């Protein structure tokens, strides 16, 4: 161990370790004492404080550190985090008027901590879920057993705008349609993790998971070390292994990350992953198809590509098959794919299974394909396509969250309890005119987590997005992206709607 070397940093001083060792050493109460004066414990499960206000044991070390730091010091560390993101260029571009400004997605200084025991359940649960979803995708793009057996309504699948007829009969390596999955989990009031959403198309955020770890570990080195946090840094290697497993040979596999380009809001992530994996980052204009094989244009001529990790939506992949106005894609690539000359991750057509209506059926799919009980529950969901549910939803708009089926990113939704009466009335009209397009869920009090705000530490709502990699086998790094709603009381964590993110610590025990 390097203890001797590291001892000169202040975080290894005695007071940082006290709390870490015995879980005591404070009686600062939320809502009463600094830095938690404004910390409001509501109906939601709180990650740090138990119901009576006591600190949960796995947060004891962090708590001790927070009590020992002067407010200015917290503020300085928060600024250092933000500065680091800006310097690294971890930004997205906001276009307004004639100006393009680069912003960082706010990152919060304080880690969100999950115990090893809690994680074991999450890990098993999301693995089970992705396994079932992959089986489901293979099924609906081949014989459609699940439809014939009446488990899922035929019209819901064949009528979905994300169902790709072109994918029928296409052989997908290992039956792994979803090679990279981001599953959004939330904690209910009772503390149980439940699944809010599956992201099966081109989920993003993993670079923030890694970048957050980098800055937060530097901000709290002592607490980090004492807590025995499981590593996540090997994610790029795991991704590379997954991508390589999509071709039958292992030598000289030519792999590329396909990005829409520098103007895409996730461009940093695309470049980051390509760099970390040591593979090419390509745009559509770098690629061409000849004789059903995909090539990239290099200075030395054309070079064959075997595997593409695409970060471009289905619609834009191949202008010959999908949207013909796409300039991001590669004409002819779908035929090369269908001929088995290039592997594409994720497979095309996965969007049909993360539809918010299909979501409601996932527990049934798990039972159907795996003959197992779901380890992680869904949030209770009303399908407005069913008449009984629709009238229930209309009668309870003030208590429900209503979401458009095909939308993501927090768009097209109504958060009933936070909406005004006119907003609810307007939404009710939309619901009545197109019920199939909507689902509703009770407002879930997402759990709250300590979050730095100017002047102290307050409770903010969070979710959790772990990333599941599936190729020949399934791999999950212990962690994920914790998104946080930075506005007090807000339940919307999307970065497009004022959300930020946090480092997520999964502990060994």
Partner 1 sequence: MLSRVADSLYWMARYLERAEHTSRLLAVKLESMVEQSREDADASWRRVVGALAAEESVSEHSDAFVVTQALAFDRDNSSSLVSSLRFARDNARQVREQLSTEVWERLNGLYLQLQTVTIDSIWVHQPARFFRDVMEDLYTLGGLTYTTLRHGEGWHFLEMGRFIERAQLVSRLLDIHFGIVALGYGAPPPPPKYFDWLVLLKFCTAFEPYCKEHTAAIRADRIAQFLLFDSEFPHSVRFAIDRVVEALHHVAPGVPPARRAQAERLAGRLKAAVDFGQFDDLTGSSIDKFLEDISKQCEEIHNAVFSAYIVYDAEAVL
The interface region with partner 1, picked from 216-224, 264-272, 395-403, 428-436 by CB under 8 A, is: 264-272
Nearest-CA neighbor of 465 among 100, 34, 112, 218? Answer: 112
User: Phi then psi for 159, rounded to 5 degrees?
Assistant: -90, -5
Nearest approach, Cβ of residue 480 and partner 1 (Å): 24
Across 80-158, the runs of DSSP E, i.e. the strands, are 91-96, 99-104, 107-114
Least Å from the CB of residue 311 to partner 1: 13
Count, residues near partner 1 per rule CB under 8 A: 28
The β-bridge relationship of strands 438-442 and 382-383 is antiparallel
Pick one of 89, 159, 231, 409: the residue that binds partner 1 (CB under 8 A).
89
Q: DSSP state, 205?
A: -
Nearer to partner 1, 247 or 288 (CB): 288
If binding is defined by CB under 8 A, does position 98 make contact with partner 1? Answer: no
Could you say whether residue 286 binds partner 1 (CB under 8 A)?
A: yes
Written as one string, the DSSP assignment of 292-350 is TEEEEEETTEEEE--EEEE-S-HHHH-TTTS-TT-SSS-TTHHHHHHTTSSEEESPTTG
Neighbouring CB atoms inside 10 A of 42's CB total 12
The one segment of 207-215, 294-302, 371-379, 467-475 that binds partner 1 by CB under 8 A: 294-302
Nearer to partner 1, 228 or 290 (CB): 290
Which is nearer to partner 1, 332 or 416 (by Cβ)?
A: 332
Complex with partner 1: residue 8 or 87, whichever CB lies closer? 87
252 near partner 1, rule: CB under 8 A: no
In what helix (H) or strand (E) does residue 225 lie, and over which residues does it extend?
Answer: helix 221-227
Number of residues that this document lists for the chain: 509
Shortest distance, CB of residue 325 to partner 1, whole angstroms?
22
DSSP symbol at 277: H
24, 117, 228, 298: which one binds partner 1 (CB under 8 A): 298
State both tokens at 206.
């993993």
For partner 1, the binding residue among 234, 297, 304, 487 (CB under 8 A) is: 297
Give, in order, the Cα–Cα distances in Å from 249 to each of 193, 252, 279, 307, 341. Answer: 39, 8, 17, 11, 13
- CA atoms within 13 A of residue 313's CA, in its CB half-sphere: 13
Q: Which CB, 83 or 396, lies closer to partner 1? A: 83
Q: What is the dihedral of CA 416, 419, 425, 431, to 10 degrees?
A: -40
Interface with partner 1 includes 233 (CB under 8 A)? no
Dihedral, 133, 138, 140, 143 alpha carbons, nearest 10: -140
| 21 is an interface residue for partner 1 by CB under 8 A | no
SS3 160: coil
Tell me which stretch binds partner 1 (CB under 8 A): 49-57, 144-152, 298-306, 361-369.
298-306
Residue 39 or residue 267: which is nearer to partner 1 going by CB? Answer: 267
CA dihedral 251, 254, 255, 256 (to 10 degrees): 160
Give residue 431's Cα distance to chain centre: 28
* 79 near partner 1, rule: CB under 8 A: no
Residues 195-224 that bind partner 1 (CB under 8 A): none
Instruction: Give the shortest CB-400-to-partner 1 separation in angstroms.
Output: 43
Does 300 engage in binding with partner 1 (CB under 8 A)?
yes
Residues ≥6 apart with Cβ < 8 Å to 45 = 187, 188, 189, 190, 191, 445, 447, 448
Among 34, 80, 120, 262, binds partner 1 (CB under 8 A): 262
Nearer to partner 1, 274 or 457 (CB): 274
Residue 320 is a binding residue for partner 1 (CB under 8 A): no
Query: Binders of partner 1 among 266-285, rule CB under 8 A?
Result: 267-268, 271-272, 274-275, 280-283, 285
301 is a site residue for partner 1 (CB under 8 A): yes
If one asks whether residue 497 binds partner 1 (CB under 8 A), the answer comes out as no
Q: Does 86 bind partner 1 (CB under 8 A)?
A: yes
Name the one range near partner 1 by CB under 8 A: 84-92, 133-141, 235-243, 490-498: 84-92
Would you count residue 293 as binding partner 1 (CB under 8 A)? no
* Distances in whole angstroms, Cα of residue 141 to Cα of each of 41, 108, 158: 47, 42, 10
* The one segment of 86-94, 381-389, 440-448, 471-479 that binds partner 1 by CB under 8 A: 86-94
How would DSSP label each residue in 387-454?
A: HHHHHHHHHTTTTEEEEETT--TTTTEEEGGGS-HHHHHHHHHHHHH-GGGEEEEEPP---EEEEEET
Q: Is 299 in the site for partner 1 (CB under 8 A)?
A: yes
94 touches partner 1 by CB under 8 A? no
Query: Does 81 help bind partner 1 (rule: CB under 8 A)?
Result: no
Q: How far is the CB of 258 from partner 1 (least distance, A)?
A: 12
Shortest spacing between CB 298 and partner 1, in angstroms = 6
Least distance to partner 1, CB of residue 306, Å:
16
Contact 356, 403 (CB under 8 A): yes
Distance CA 315, CA 311 (A): 12
Residues that bind partner 1 (CB under 8 A): 86-89, 261-262, 267-268, 271-272, 274-275, 280-283, 285-286, 288, 290, 295-302
């Amino acid at each position: 161990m390097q203890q001797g070397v590291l001892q000169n940093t202040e975080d290894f001083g005695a007071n940082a370790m006290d709390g870490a060792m015995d879980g005591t050493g404070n009686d600062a109460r939320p809502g009463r004492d600094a830095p938690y004066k404004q910390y409001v414990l509501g109906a939601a499960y709180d990650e740090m404080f138990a119901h009576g206000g006591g600190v949960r044991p796995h947060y004891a070390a962090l708590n001790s550190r927070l009590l020992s730091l002067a407010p200015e010091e917290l503020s300085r560390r928060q600024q250092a985090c933000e500065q680091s993101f800006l310097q690294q260029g971890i930004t997205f571009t906001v276009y307004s008027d004639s100006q393009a400004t680069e912003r960082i997605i706010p990152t919060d200084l304080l880690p969100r901590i999950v115990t090893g025991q809690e994680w074991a359940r999450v890990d098993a649960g999301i693995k089970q879920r992705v396994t079932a979803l992959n089986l489901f995708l293979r099924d609906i793009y081949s014989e459609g057993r699940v439809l014939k057996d009446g488990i899922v309504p035929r019209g819901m699948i064949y009528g979905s705008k994300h169902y790709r007829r072109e994918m029928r009969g296409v052989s997908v390596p290992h039956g792994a349609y979803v090679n990279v999955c981001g599953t959004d989990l939330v904690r209910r009031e009772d503390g149980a993790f439940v699944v809010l959403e599956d992201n099966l198309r081109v989920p993003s955020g993993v670079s923030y998971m890694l970048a957050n770890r980098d800055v937060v570990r530097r901000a709290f080195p002592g607490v980090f070390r004492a807590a025995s946090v499981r590593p996540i840094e090997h994610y790029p290697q795991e991704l590379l292994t997954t991508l390589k497993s999509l071709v039958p040979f292992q030598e000289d596999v030519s792999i590329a990350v396909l990005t829409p380009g520098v103007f895409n809001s996730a461009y940093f992530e695309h470049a980051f992953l390509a760099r970390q994996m040591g593979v090419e980052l390509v745009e559509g204009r770098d690629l061409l198809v000849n004789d059903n094989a995909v090539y990239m244009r290099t200075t030395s001529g054309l070079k064959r590509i075997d595997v593409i990790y695409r970060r471009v939506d289905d619609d834009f992949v191949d202008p010959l098959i999908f949207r013909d106005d796409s300039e991001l894609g590669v004409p002819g690539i779908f035929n090369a794919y269908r001929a088995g000359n290039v592997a594409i991750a994720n497979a095309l057509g996965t969007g049909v299974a993360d539809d918010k209506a299909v979501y409601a059926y996932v527990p049934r799919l798990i039972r159907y394909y795996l003959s197992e009980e779901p380890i992680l529950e869904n949030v209770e969901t009303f399908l407005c396509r069913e008449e009984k549910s629709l009238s229930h939803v209309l009668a309870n708009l003030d208590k429900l969250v209503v979401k458009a089926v095909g939308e993501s990113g927090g768009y097209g939704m109504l958060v009933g309890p936070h909406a005004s009466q006119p907003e609810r009335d307007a939404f009710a009209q939309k619901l009545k005119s197109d019920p199939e397009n909507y689902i509703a869920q009770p407002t879930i009090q997402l759990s709250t987590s300590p979050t730095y705000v100017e002047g102290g530490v307050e409770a903010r709502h969070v979710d959790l997005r772990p990333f599941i990699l599936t190729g020949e086998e399934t791999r999950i790094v212990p962690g994920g992206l914790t998104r946080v709603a930075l506005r007090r009381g807000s339940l919307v964590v999307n970065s497009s709607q004022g959300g930020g993110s946090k480092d997520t610590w999964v502990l060994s025990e």
